[in-house]
Structure 1
Amino acid sequence: MKISELTAGEEQLMNVLWKLNSAYMREIIESYPEPKPHPNTISTFLKILLEKEFVSSTREGRVFRYSVAVPFEEYRKFKLQNFLAHYCENSAKNLLKMMFKEKLIAPVDFQDFFEVKTTLHSTHKKEENESDISDFIAEITAPKAKKTDKEGKKKNKAEKKKSKKKKKDN
């Protein structure tokens, strides 16, 4: 099934249907937010959504039951892919850069996604051509530097010398 773009009115009706999953016209009208459109308008949107295969219907006596045919998650994925294609050159990295630049996300928002937890403190103002988000991602995903045994022994020796010197001075 090919998912297509929805108008604002169609999407509003789908939001009602995604909450209900399956409903009669009466239930759809009751669930609609204020100001409620005329029932004929809703009926027209349902007809279009049936044609676009977003909704399916079954006749039960004299009334129809409308059911969701395209789950919300699939439509959301479709919308995100379209957004990336039209506004971010098909790059999630560009989306993150834009969100970071517009202060819609912060470094702390990424803590749940990476094993390495870090706090960033800006020490200087970045030039416009530098990529803040690229630097940020590189920093939080870089493995922590491990000290070699020699470095550890040298550090221990230096600490012991300092503590002996303090004892002599006292």
Structure 2
Amino acid sequence: MQLSNSEEQLMQILWKQEKALMKDLIEAYPEPRPATTTVATLLKRMQDKKFVDYIQLGRSREYFALVKKKDYFSKQMNGMIKNFFNDSASQFASFFTKETNLSKEELEDLKKLIDKEIKSK
């Protein structure tokens, strides 16, 4: 299951806050902030998709994520590699390193990460 751009933006806020009331979520948006009804609709859709849930606190609801940020983005990246790069991590890495204008230092940092991962396998 995938999130729309507006749902993903709200999930980013929720991941950052971990638990939040509606007013906290709305205040975390940049101006112009969305209407309460808009955020409520997004939360309901995200709840139906099993991304968020809430606990009732009196008349308020405290929302929290059911999906970890790392898990969501890992799945998104794997899907992107599969769909756009013929399921080839090396094709993705080639595109990423050429098209993102990484500095020599950033490329060296990536190489260190890859070397470290190779040693751990």
Runs (4 or more) in structure 1 with deviation over 6 Å come to none
Q: Hey, what does 1:135 align to over in structure 2?
A: none
Identical-residue share of aligned pairs (%): 31
Q: Hey, what does 1:101 align to over in structure 2?
A: 98
Q: Report the TM-score, using the length of structure 1 for normalisation.
A: 0.61
Structure (1/2) with the larger helix percentage = 2
Q: Size of the alignment, in residue pairs?
A: 112
Q: Secondary structure of 1:33's match?
A: coil
1:42-53 correspondence to structure 2 within 5 Å: 42-53=39-50
Unaligned runs of 5+ residues in structure 2 are: 117-121
Relative contact order, higher structure (CA 8 A, sep 6+): 2
Q: 1:56 aligns with which of 50, 53, 56?
A: 53
Q: Hey, what does 1:10 align to over in structure 2?
A: 7
Q: Hey, what does 1:144 align to over in structure 2?
A: none
Q: Deviations over 1:8-67 (max 9, x none)?
A: 110111111011011111111111122211111000000001101110111111111111
Distance 1:41 1:73 in 2: 26
Q: 1:78 aligns with which of 75, 78, 95?
A: 75
Q: Identify if the C-alpha distance between structure 1 residues 27 and 100 changes in structure 2 by more than 3 Å, giving closer, same or farther.
A: closer
Unaligned runs of 5+ residues in structure 1 are: 116-170
Deviation at 1:100, TM superposition (A): 3.0
Q: Report the TM-score, using the length of structure 2 for normalisation.
A: 0.84
Over the residues paired in the alignment, what is the CA RMSD in angstroms? Answer: 1.6
Letter in 1 for 2:85: C
Q: Secondary structure of 2:62's match?
A: strand
- The structure with the largest alpha-carbon Rg is 1
